[in-house]
Amino acid sequence: MNAAFSHVTILGGGLLGGSLALALRHLFPSTNVTLWARKAETVSQAHALGIQQATSNLAAAVSHAELAVLAVPVGAMPTLLQSALDAGLPSHCIVTDVGSVKSTPHRDLAPVLCGRPQQFIGSHPMAGSERNGIDAARAGLFCDAACLLTNDDLAPAESCEALENFWKSVGCHTTWMSAAVHDALVARISHLPHLLASAGARTCLQHPSEGTFGGGGLRDTTRVAAGNPVMWAEIVTENRDAILPPLRDLISDLGTLLRHLESADLAATQHWLDEAKHLRDQLPLPQS
């Protein structure tokens, strides 16, 4: 399988943008990959990683793009896309993103592209780390990751197929859904778990020095709480309408456990834990 596009422009030099550039460089050396970053320091770091076509010159970055990947926070996407259009983004270019929410990009990018030939199709590769920035980038980040795709703006089938093949080519397995379904899904399986890890860190690590006595369970359950607070505050605020119902469910379920423990109800507590274990045991194992 090839990369589906001969010239890919990645707009944003963070973890996902840098990892995508490294993956394409490793898998498809003949593909022309340009990484744009606003800061000269990030461009220098990209060069050090072997991403030679890294630049802070937006016009140079977009001049030949067949696929432009918005790898910046969702709130920054409309302004960056407008700047890319003003800088000469080709009319035949497909625009996608790597944002963790999808309703907002579809809503906010549509006016920017109104009346223009460029097409936006949403992408969300479910890959990442509690680390951030290009220093954390790695070529294998997308291997065996899910990539959720959205086409609420009804881009043509051939464009959707090309984008899907692109994500498959870097190791993702793909699924199409609406932006609303996507946001409800990731609220439960990604955004709420991050908040749960953060709540665990706030409660369990009130005295961080005590963490030296903790085992793997403490580290595992709080690991993602080390993620970038600025990024995650934006994500959960943007997706708050989808997060609020499962967050209320979580609070209610913890209230149930609290009542079981207050009444020293061993059987009910075991049943609560049994249900949790049964659900966790059904979680598919990562592919080796």
Amino acid at 39: K
CATH 3.40.50.720 describes domain 7-177: yes
- Kindly state the average pLDDT of the residues 259-264: 98
- Kindly state the average pLDDT of the residues 127-155: 92
Nearest to 177 by CA among 185, 166, 169: 185
- Kindly state the average pLDDT of the residues 188-215: 94
pTM: 0.92
Question: What's the pLDDT score for residue 1?
Answer: 45
Distance CA 187, CA 200 (A): 18
- Kindly state the average pLDDT of the residues 227-239: 94
In Å, how far are 105, 224, 239, 248 from 245, measured between CA atoms?
A: 22, 21, 11, 5
pLDDT digits (tens, 9 = 90+) for 28-37: 999 999 999 9
What kind of fold does domain 190-281 have according to CATH?
6-phosphogluconate dehydrogenase C-terminal fold (1.10.3660)
Contact 194, 227 (CB under 8 A): yes
User: Model confidence at 2, in pLDDT bands (50, 70, 90)?
Assistant: low
Distance CA 48, CA 102 (A): 33
- Kindly state the average pLDDT of the residues 191-209: 95
Q: What is the residue-averaged pLDDT of the chain?
A: 95
Question: What's the pLDDT score for residue 60?
Answer: 97
- Kindly state the average pLDDT of the residues 230-250: 96
* pLDDT over 90 (residue 189): yes
**Contacts with 58 (C-beta within 8 Å, 6 or more apart), sequence order:** 11, 36, 83, 84, 87
* pLDDT over 80 (residue 4): no
How large a percentage of the chain has pLDDT more than 90?
91
Q: Where are the domains of the chain?
A: 7-177, 190-281
